[in-house]
Homo-oligomer: A and B are copies of this chain.
Amino acid sequence: MEEPPIGDVFGEMIRDAFAVRTGVGPRPLAGGRVPRPVIEVIERDDGLINGAPADHYLDEPGEWEEQDHRALRLCRGHVLDIGVGAGRIAVELQRRGMAVTGLDTSAGAIAVARERGLRDTVLNTVDAYASASARYDTFLLLGNNLGLLENAERALVFLAALARLANPGARIIAQGTDPYGTTDPVHVGYHQRNRERGRLGGQLRLRLRYRRLATAWFDYLNCSVAELDAVLAGTRWRLTAIDEADRPYYLAVMELRE
């Protein structure tokens, strides 16, 4: 097989999912005529492949999981939505009159978020943006975006960047997934091999693919609350609340240490 070129996988996918949902613009067809569902393909480095319909990235508030609504009630002040994607959360915060900025590394996702009405967007990494003068009161990592911590080492850098962007008293509200509730040998074995290599069990090595494009391989962290707490020990953030009502998913609230 030709190795797929690296590109804006997420952006291309979101653009197509948006076209399918709105019925406007070119979208993937079978045989030039029959609409195809837009599916996000995720490869793991052990050869595991999963597909998931991408439409949920565009869900309106009435379609959300309850956990997202609970997360929004925790927001205050100026919000930076990290990995804003198609703006699912940020557009709703803006509608409620809150100050919200959407940050993403995907130009395609930012374009869709703007088309959906999001006014304040930043196309950048958290690291690079941390040298900007903007300051925030709430950092949102919903849609399992706690995974963007990548791994224990990278988490320190990421969280230091957020600390630089933080007003006093700022908080991070993040959705994570505890991966250890499974008995599936494919996953249990993967976690075990990860630990043998000095990685966290749920430190997934992934790439996304959509149509002809792939991302580079990246770490994506699914961790338990205890593992998250251990990661935070080396940072300016401390865990102040956990909402575990929707296990294996959880909402973590982290606040800037005085």
Contacts and interface: CB of A to CB of B under 8 A. Distances in A.
A226 interface: no
Contact of A32 (B41, B49, B183): B183
A69 B207 CA distance: 41
Interface stretch (A116-124, A155-163, A209-217): A209-217
A4 B49 contact: yes
A249 B29 CA distance: 13
A225 interface: no
Given A29-B184, A31-B248, A248-B33, A49 B41 contact: yes
Interface in A18-56: 28-34, 36-37, 39-41, 43-53
A34 B214 CA distance: 26
A247 interface: yes
Given A4-B47, A4-B49, A53-B53, A34 B209 contact: no
Given A39-B52, A52-B36, A186-B211, A178 B47 contact: no
Interface residues of A, number: 48
A53 B248 CA distance: 24
Given A30-B248, A51-B51, A46 B211 contact: no
A132 interface: no
A63 to B, nearest CB: 16
A31 B178 contact: yes
Given A31-B178, A34-B249, 6 more contacts: A2-B46, A29-B184, A30-B248, A31-B181, A31-B222, A48-B211
Interface of A: 1-5, 28-34, 36-37, 39-41, 43-53, 177-184, 186-187, 209-212, 214, 217, 222, 247-249
